[in-house]
Copies of this chain bind each other. A is one copy, B any other.
């Protein structure tokens, strides 16, 4: 079997979508789909794919995928009003306007914590392909992936090119950078240290706090946390610790340890041959993001099987710029999706 073999993905149960009704102008729906995946490291597995979409069923479909903590609920809608992870980029007037595009997202394989085995970004791409088959979507107008979602998008483009018109890969490249991989491996060890004393949650909280530093930049911290440290109960406490405590607590309350470990690993297993990607691609890098460094994005674009575009953002938010710099990112998405729109 070659590294880039085609997926075996068989939808076995169709979903029961919660269709919206009433005074909703933009329809939104959710569903679950059971599929069997031939996974790269975990063998043949039956998994449940949870998806959500917003926008007309017959509109061009854009699949959005985010970091390992992202999920199917990308944006608030009348049907599902809770905050989504991509609210700022989905809405009227945005490039991702659900009145004109059907925006689709799904929970990553493993996100439910029920799959305790190595997961590959290729598996996620195959899951996305199976999801499209299950939903009767022949082809995506675009796959817009950020961070882990960019890795999945790259795999999707390499493995399922007939299902894809255009890729936008933000803050993610063809490999896990060795330094970022080491950083994540140590985060996983923090969880392991917590597990030794039956305190998964503390370990996961610490892992998340270390991860937060990798998502942000020294520039942002210098602006926010310049207060001198305090000495509390004989110990030094620095200015950022309140923020980091809150970030850790919020994360552990909503995250399965198994899910986090397996998806963190999945980033480090990621390798895709850029030459295998032959669909139009826009690669977006953020200067100062060393989880997905600019050098790797340049190498990715230069190695693509067809010419692609590189866009570079400057942002004090580093790896998280996609979630913070809505105006800049929307402008990039607008340009990247323009051709697809013309074709649609």
A interface list, Cβ under 8 A from B: 41, 117-118, 176-186, 189-190, 193-194, 196-197, 199, 202-203, 206, 209-210, 213, 217-218, 221-222, 224-226, 228-229, 231, 234-241, 244, 265, 268-269, 271, 290, 293
Contact = CB atoms under 8 A, between A and B. Distances in A.
A222 to B, nearest CB: 5
Contacts of A231: 41, 118
Given A194-B193, A197-B197, A218-B290, A186 B244 contact: yes
B41 A185 contact: no
Given A118-B234, A185-B238, 8 more contacts: A118-B231, A178-B238, A182-B213, A182-B221, A182-B238, A185-B236, A189-B209, A190-B190
Contacts of A193: 190, 193-194, 197, 199, 202-203, 206
A154 to B, nearest CB: 16
A185 B202 CA distance: 15
A241 B186 CA distance: 9
A238 B184 CA distance: 9
Nearest to A295: B222
Contacts of A240: 178-179, 181-182, 185
9 contacts: A118-B231, A178-B221, A178-B238, A182-B225, A185-B238, A186-B209, A193-B199, A193-B206, A197-B197
Given A231-B118, A238-B268, A218 B293 contact: yes
Contact of A181 (B178, B194, B238): B238
Given A186-B213, A209-B186, A118 B236 contact: yes
A265 B236 contact: yes
Nearest to A239: B178
Contact of A183 (B213, B229, B234, B239): B213
A217 B183 CA distance: 12
Nearest to A290: B218
Contacts of A221: 177-179, 182
Contacts of A228: 271
Contacts of A229: 176, 181, 268-269
A268 B226 CA distance: 11
A290 to B, nearest CB: 5
Contacts of A210: 186, 210
Contact of A186 (B176, B206, B236, B271): B206
Contacts of A118: 231, 234-236
A231 B119 CA distance: 11
Contacts of A183: 213
B218 A265 contact: no
Given A197-B196, A203-B193, A179 B217 contact: yes
A234 B43 CA distance: 12
Contacts of A265: 235-236
The 7 lowest CB-CB distance pairs between A and B, nearest first, are A197-B197, A179-B218, A179-B221, A236-B265, A182-B240, A178-B225, A181-B238
